[in-house]
Amino acid sequence: MSLDRADVTKIAHLARLAVAEDQAAAVASDLSRILDLVAQMSAVDTRDVPPMAHPLDMPQRLRPDAVTETDRRDEFQALAPAKEAGLYLVPRVIE
C-alpha cells in the first residue's frame, strides 16, 4: 500500500492535524512503510473468524442511574486556554 502526498493531505484533514508542505512526502513514505507491515495481515484467511471485541467474555456492567459526581465545573474550566463567563472560547464560527 503506497500513499502519496494528496492522500496524506486528506488523512491529515480528517485527523485535524496540520502537516507542513515540506513534510508531506516524508510522512507519506513513513505511513506507506507502516501500511506495508500491516499488509501482512491479508495473507491469512479469516472468513469464519469472529472479530474479538474484548479479551474477557464479560458483559458491560450497569450502574444505578444516580448522580455520583459533584459539580467541579470551575476546577475543570480553570484548565482551559481561553474562557469567559463560564464558556470556552474559540474563534468565531458564524459571521
* Dist CA 89 CA 82 (whole Å): 5
- Which residue from 22, 70, 71, 76 is in contact with other proteins, where contact means CB under 8 A? 76
- Which residue from 66, 82, 84, 85 is in contact with other proteins, where contact means CB under 8 A? 82
* Dist CA 4 CA 31 (whole Å): 10
Tally of CB atoms within 10 A around 9: 14
Chain positions contacting other proteins, by CB under 8 A: 3, 7-8, 11-20, 27, 30-31, 33-42, 44, 46, 49-56, 58, 60-61, 63, 72, 75-76, 78-82, 88, 90-93
